[in-house]
C-alpha cells in the first residue's frame, strides 16, 4: 500500500490508486465531511432541487438544500426558474423559512433587504438613512450584493442546480445512457403522490453506496424470497455513463407469467409463506419493455426509482457526519386512472421507511457507522465483479460502487 | 343508541389495540379491523395537502396479516418495542352502525439495548364499525405530526 500525495492533500489518505479499497475513515472524518461539501456538493456536480410542477406560477418557490447549503428555487415573472443561496447578502440571515410558498419578492425579515425572483438585490431599508442621517455610503452599489446564483437545468420535469460554471451542461453530465434512463421513467407529466423523510443514522455515502450496491439486494432484503415472489426474474445488468459516476441497475420480469405462477403456487400446500393479499405486487408493464426494476443514480445524491409501478425520486441530504436525511418523493402521472393510482399506492408498501424491500437500508448504514466508531483505520473492499467501473450484464457486482468512488476521488483530489 | 355504551366500546377498542401492539401480540393486530378495511400511515403535511400516499398503505385485512408475517419472517431490523400513550377520545360523529372517532397518541420506541426516545406523535382518525362486538376498525388513518421517520418503521402504529 502506498499513500498518495502526502502533505499537499487534505482529507483522508487512500490506500491505493485502485477503486477496490475504501478507507473507513471517509465515513468518520470531520475534515473529509467539510471537503465533500466544498468539492462535491458545491463542486462541478448537479443536485436535485425540486419538481418543476411544484413551482408552476410566477412567484412560486421551494426552499431546499444542496448538500447542507440552503438554496431557494423560484419561478420569476418571465416563467424562468432561478436558484440562489438562501442567505441574505447583508448579515447572512436565512431568507425563506418555509419549504414552499408564493411571493412577489424575497425579503429578509432581519433588516428588510429585498431581492427579486432572480436573486438580485432590489431594496435596502433606510439606504439613504433616516432624516439624512446614517444610511449606506455613496459607493454602496446594490448590484454588487446579489444573492449567489446556481445554474439551473430542467430535465424530464425535474429541476437541478449546480454551484459551478465549469460543470458540464446537465445532459452532458448525465451522458446519453443515464439521460435515456430518466426519460424512460419520467416520460409524461408526473404528479406527487406523497412525500416523506427517512432519517438515517449514518454518513450520507453509506446510503449513496447502498443504492449502487446490486450485490446486497437478495441477501439483506428477504421479503421477495420469503414470499417466493420474483422467481421469474429475467435478464438484468448494470449500465453506467462513461465516467462511472452515475448508474442504472435494471432487471426484467415476465409480468404475465409471474401473475399466473403466483396464483398457481398459492394453491399448493407446500408453500408456507404466501401473501394473503397479493395486490402489493400486482403490477403492470407500464413501459412495455418488461423492465420491472430500474434504479438510477445521478452523482452525488439523486436516485430515481422504478420498482414495478412505484416511481420515486430519493434525495440524499447529508446532515452532519453521522446523519443523513433521505427524502422520498413518490410519483404518479397525470394520466393515471383511479386503478393505476391505487396500484401505485399498494405497491408503495414495497418502498420507503416502512418498505418491505427497502426498510433494511434504513438501518444497515447505522450498523456500519457504529462498527466504525474508533475502529476505522482499515479499508473496506469492493471487488465483486472485478476492479473497474464498467457496465456489466449481471448484477452480482460492485461495479457501480467503484464508479461512485472513482468520481469521488477525482473531485476531492484523492 | 346508548352513547355511553358506544363510548365505552370505542375506548376499549382503542386501548386494546395499542396494548396488543405494545405487548408484541402482533398476530392479533389484524383482528382489530374488519375484512374490507383501510389502514394508512401518513403525515400531517401529506394529509393536509391531500396526497394519498401512505408510508404504510393497507386496503384489506389480508394486507395487515402480510405486514405481520413480513415483520416476523422476512424483514431485518434491530429488536425494539413501542409504548403508546393515547389521549382522550373524541367521538365526532356516530350513527347506528359507524362512529367517527379521533384521538391523539405518542409512541415511545424502546430499543433492545434500552435506548429509548419519542418515535412518533400524531392522530388516529378512525371509522369504527359498531355492528360487531367487540367493535372493529373500518378505517384507521394514522396522521403523524412529523414527516420524518427515524431509521425505519416496521411495527405498526
Is residue A264 domain-shared with residue A376, that is, in the same domain?
yes
CATH number, domain containing residue A121: 2.102.10.10
Q: Flag whether B154 is in a domain.
A: no
Which member of B62, B73, B154 has the closest CB to residue A354? Answer: B154
Is residue A355 domain-shared with residue A233, that is, in the same domain?
yes
Helix (H) or strand (E) holding A329: strand A324-333
Contact in structure between B116 and B12 (CB atoms under 8 Å): no
Q: Flag whether A108 is in a domain.
A: yes
Contact in structure between A406 and A44 (CB atoms under 8 Å): no
The Cα A216–Cα B99 span in angstroms is 47
Is residue A230 domain-shared with residue A328, that is, in the same domain?
yes
Each residue's pLDDT tens digit, B51-109: 999 999 999 999 999 999 999 999 999 999 999 999 999 999 999 999 999 999 999 99
pLDDT recorded at residue A1: 38
Contact in structure between A307 and A292 (CB atoms under 8 Å): yes
Each residue's pLDDT tens digit, A278-293: 999 999 999 999 999 9
The Cα A370–Cα A380 span in angstroms is 15
Structure ipTM over 0.85, yes or no:
yes
Is residue A279 domain-shared with residue A366, that is, in the same domain?
yes
Q: Confirm or reject contact between A349 and chain B (CB < 8 A).
A: yes
Q: Flag whether B71 is in a domain.
A: yes
Task: Name chain A contacts of B63, Cβ cutoff 8 Å.
Answer: 276-277, 279-280, 346, 349
φ/ψ of residue A293, rounded to 5: -145, 125
Domain that holds residue A92: 47-153
Q: Flag whether A4 is in a domain.
A: no
Chain centroid, CA A318 distance in Å: 11
Each residue's pLDDT tens digit, A36-52: 999 999 999 999 999 99
- Cβ contacts below 8 Å, chain A against chain B, sum to 127
Number of separate domains in chain B: 1
Which member of A279, A345, A363 has the closest CB to residue B53? Answer: A345
The answer to whether the Cβ–Cβ distance between B53 and A342 falls below 8 Å is: no
Is residue A121 domain-shared with residue A221, that is, in the same domain?
no
Each residue's pLDDT tens digit, B115-155: 999 999 999 999 999 999 999 999 999 999 999 999 999 99
Number of separate domains in chain A: 2
State the pLDDT confidence band at A269, using cuts at 50, 70 and 90.
Answer: very low
Is residue A271 domain-shared with residue A373, that is, in the same domain?
yes
Peptide bond before residue A300 is cis, with ω within 30 degrees of 0 = yes
The answer to whether the Cβ–Cβ distance between A227 and B42 falls below 8 Å is: no
Amino acid at each position: 500500500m502506498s499513500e498518495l500525495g502526502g502533505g499537499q492533500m487534505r482529507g483522508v489518505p487512500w490506500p491505493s490508486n485502485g477503486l477496490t479499497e475504501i478507507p473507513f475513515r471517509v465515513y468518520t472524518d470531520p475534515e473529509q465531511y467539510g471537503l465533500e461539501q466544498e468539492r462535491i456538493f458545491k463542486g462541478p456536480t448537479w443536485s436535485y432541487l425540486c419538481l418543476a410542477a411544484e413551482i408552476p406560477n410566477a412567484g412560486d418557490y421551494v426552499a431546499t438544500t444542496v448538500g447542507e447549503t440552503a438554496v431557494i428555487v423560484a419561478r420569476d415573472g418571465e416563467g424562468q426558474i432561478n436558484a440562489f443561496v438562501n442567505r441574505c447578502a447583508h448579515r447572512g440571515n436565512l431568507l425563506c423559512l418555509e419549504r414552499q410558498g408564493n411571493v412577489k419578492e424575497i425579503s429578509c425579515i432581519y433588516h428588510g433587504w429585498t431581492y427579486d425572483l432572480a436573486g438580485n438585490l432590489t431594496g435596502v431599508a433606510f439606504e439613504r438613512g433616516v432624516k439624512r442621517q446614517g444610511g449606506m455610503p455613496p459607493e454602496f452599489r446594490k448590484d454588487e450584493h446579489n444573492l449567489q446564483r446556481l445554474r439551473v437545468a430542467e430535465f424530464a420535469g425535474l429541476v437541478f442546480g449546480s454551484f459551478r460554471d465549469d460543470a458540464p451542461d446537465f445532459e452532458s453530465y448525465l451522458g446519453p445512457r443515464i439521460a435515456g434512463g430518466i426519460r424512460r421513467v419520467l416520460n409524461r407529466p408526473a404528479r406527487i403522490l406523497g412525500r416523506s423523510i427517512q432519517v438515517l443514522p449514518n454518513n450520507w455515502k453509506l446510503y449513496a453506496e447502498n443504492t449502487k450496491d446490486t450485490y446486497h439486494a437478495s441477501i439483506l432484503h428477504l421479503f421477495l424470497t420469503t414470499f417466493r415472489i420474483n422467481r421469474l426474474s429475467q435478464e438484468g445488468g448494470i449500465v453506467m455513463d462513461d465516467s462511472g459516476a452515475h448508474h442504472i441497475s435494471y432487471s426484467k420480469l415476465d409480468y404475465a407469467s409471474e401473475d399466473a405462477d403466483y396464483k398457481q403456487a398459492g394453491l399448493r400446500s407446500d408453500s408456507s409463506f404466501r401473501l394473503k393479499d397479493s395486490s402489493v405486487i400486482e403490477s403492470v408493464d407500464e413501459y412495455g419493455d418488461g423492465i420491472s426494476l430500474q434504479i438510477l443514480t445521478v452523482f452525488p445524491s439523486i436516485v430515481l426509482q422504478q420498482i414495478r409501478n412505484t416511481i420515486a425520486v430519493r434525495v440524499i441530504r447529508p446532515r452532519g457526519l453521522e446523519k443523513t436525511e433521505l427524502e422520498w418523493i413518490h410519483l404518479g402521472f397525470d394520466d393515471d386512472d383511479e386503478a393505476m393510482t391505487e396500484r401505485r399506492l399498494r405497491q408503495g408498501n414495497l418502498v420507503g421507511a416502512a418498505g418491505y424491500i427497502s426498510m433494511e437500508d434504513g438501518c444497515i448504514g447505522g450498523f456500519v457507522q457504529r462498527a466504525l466508531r474508533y475502529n476505522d483505520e482499515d479499508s473496506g473492499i469492493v471487488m465483486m465483479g472485478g476492479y473497474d467501473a464498467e457496465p456489466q450484464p449481471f448484477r452480482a457486482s460492485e461495479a457501480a460502487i467503484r464508479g461512485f468512488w472513482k468520481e469521488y476521488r477525482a473531485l476531492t483530489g484523492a | 343508541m346508548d352513547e355511553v355504551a358506544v363510548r365505552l366500546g370505542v375506548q376499549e377498542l382503542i386501548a386494546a389495540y395499542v396494548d396488543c401492539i405494545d405487548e408484541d401480540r402482533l398476530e392479533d393486530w389484524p383482528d382489530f379491523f374488519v375484512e374490507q378495511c383501510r389502514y394508512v400511515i401518513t403525515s400531517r403535511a401529506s394529509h393536509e395537502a391531500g396526497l394519498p400516499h401512505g408510508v404504510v398503505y393497507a386496503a384489506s385485512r389480508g394486507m395487515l396479516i402480510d405486514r405481520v408475517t413480513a415483520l416476523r419472517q422476512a424483514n431485518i431490523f434491530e429488536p425494539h418495542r413501542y409504548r403508546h400513550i393515547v389521549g382522550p377520545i373524541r367521538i365526532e360523529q356516530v350513527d347506528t352502525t359507524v362512529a367517527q372517532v379521533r384521538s391523539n397518541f405518542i409512541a415511545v420506541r424502546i430499543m433492545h439495548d434500552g435506548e429509548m426516545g419519542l418515535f412518533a406523535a400524531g392522530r388516529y382518525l378512525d371509522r369504527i364499525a359498531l355492528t360487531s362486538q367487540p367493535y372493529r376498525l373500518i378505517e384507521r388513518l394514522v396522521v403523524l405530526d412529523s414527516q420524518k421517520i427515524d431509521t425505519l418503521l416496521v411495527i405498526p402504529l
